[in-house]
Amino acid sequence: MNDFIFHNPTKVYFGTEQLAHLGEELATFGTKVLLVYGGGSIKKSGLYDRIHALLADAGLSVTSLGGVEPNPRHTTVNEGAVLCRREGVDVVLAVGGGSTIDCAKAIAATAPSTTDDVWDLIEGRATVGEVLPIVTVLTLAGTGSEMDGSAVISNKPRNLKCSLRTPLVRPRVTFEDPSLTATVPAYQTACGSIDIMSHIFDATYFTDQPQLDMLVRVQEEVLKTVIHFAPIALDDPANLDARANLMWASSWALNDFLFDGVKQQGACHVMEHELSAYYDITHGHGLAILIPRWLRYILDDTTAPLIHRFGVRCLDIDASLAPIAGAEATTCALAHFFFDTLGVAATFTDLGIDERHFADMADHACEHGPIQSIKTLTRDDVIAIYKLCL
């Protein structure tokens, strides 16, 4: 086990009656709020009006920035930073899923900085110093952005999707009301659930680094939670128990606890970010297509026991199988779960993706060298995995 630091000071209000505390929490940071949100779903659901009423009751003045894209654009971030400066905003409030929260984080980092362009922060031409406080109201379980210190932003003209990583953008306060996710469509519920699982797979579960046995066990239980409750949420969208378990699993899959002591790049996330950058697909869908192919590609005598263990613990695979056979059965069962049980399309071809950009995507994925994970992936490996996904 590597030494590690665990430090996650985000304060989380969890439950169906907690939004009542939104105004008082925002007021601790000042009086001027930038409200960041995405498409029109929060207007349709009435949440937009409810938030405005809560903020008005608390005597807060609000500037709004709506229309944040899935795979949020750097131009939207820059627009938000201009608003913060012009209005003297004290605190940035994100109401939405991971894209909205990531956009809000990036705005909060850019507004007080020396640049007008968040891309300067991402590429190191300017540094993140002071960051405006960030508060979130989560409406979609998946990305884990609500408790983590990272924001993923897309630069469409350059086909780039990159992370701004610093504990300074970790939300100060997060509101998680599972009833707010009852209206999330099936496709987004499925993709969010896959995203939760991917964080555990990619960041820590499939690793050759030593880690604490307790954490491996806990990772498996969070995975089993998603495998159990995601289909329930698809069948019965308003099932509060399923929504609550998925929401809390989302936060804990990425709030650093499960990663303690493991350092790897997250092979599937690196490969998927290229996909989203070029094709603007839903992150969790790209991951669903990649993960089973990636596992099959890296399956050998060294990785099979761990892949098989995951299958035994989480997917009812027969423990008595030989490791290779058990690992193969596991990748099939996982593909079945993603593509049949959760119902997301199984191939790049289904998404209209062909191989024309694979070479460029692989070049960028490996621009700092091969991807470090349980198996190091070169540029050629990345292309080979992409081809398996067609």
Q: Under the rule (CB under 8 A), what is the footprint of a copy of itself?
A: 1-18, 212-215, 217-218, 220-222, 224-225, 228-229, 241, 244-245, 248-249, 252, 257, 260-261
Q: Min. distance of Cβ 233 from a copy of itself in angstroms? A: 13
The minimum distance between CB 246 and a copy of itself, in angstroms, equals 9
**Alpha-carbon span 234 to 31, nearest angstrom:** 40
Q: Tell the smallest beta-carbon distance from residue 383 to a copy of itself (Å).
A: 38
Distance in Å, CB of 232 to a copy of itself, minimum: 11
CA-nearest of 20, 316, 9, 329 to 177 is 20
DSSP bridge pairs for 308: none
Considering the complex, state which of residue 33 and residue 246 has its C-beta at the smaller distance from a copy of itself: 246
Our CB check for a copy of itself shows the closer of 307 and 314 to be 314
Q: How far is the CB of 324 from a copy of itself (least distance, A)?
A: 27
DSSP E strands: which ranges in 232-305? none
Query: How many Å apart are CA 272 and CA 162, to the nearest integer?
Result: 11
Assigned token pair, 9: 């000071």
3-state secondary structure 141-177: CCCCHHHCCEEEEEEHHHCEEEEEECHHHCCCEEEEC
State which residue, 226 or 342, has the beta carbon closest to a copy of itself: 226
CB of 227 or CB of 299, closer to a copy of itself: 227
Q: Residue 64 burial (CB < 10 Å; 0-12/13-18/19+)?
A: middle
User: Closer CB to a copy of itself, residue 257 or residue 339?
Assistant: 257
CB of 227 to a copy of itself, least distance (A): 11
Q: What are the CA-CA distances from residue 207 to residues 1, 273, 306, 327, 376 (Å)?
A: 12, 20, 9, 15, 11
Q: Which is nearer to a copy of itself, 184 or 227 (CB)?
A: 227
Nearer to a copy of itself, 246 or 385 (CB): 246
Contacts of 368 (CB under 8 A, 6+ apart): none
Q: Least CB distance from residue 3 to a copy of itself, whole Å?
A: 3
Contacts of 160 (CB under 8 A, 6+ apart): 154, 277, 364
Distance of CA 270 to the CA centre of its chain: 13
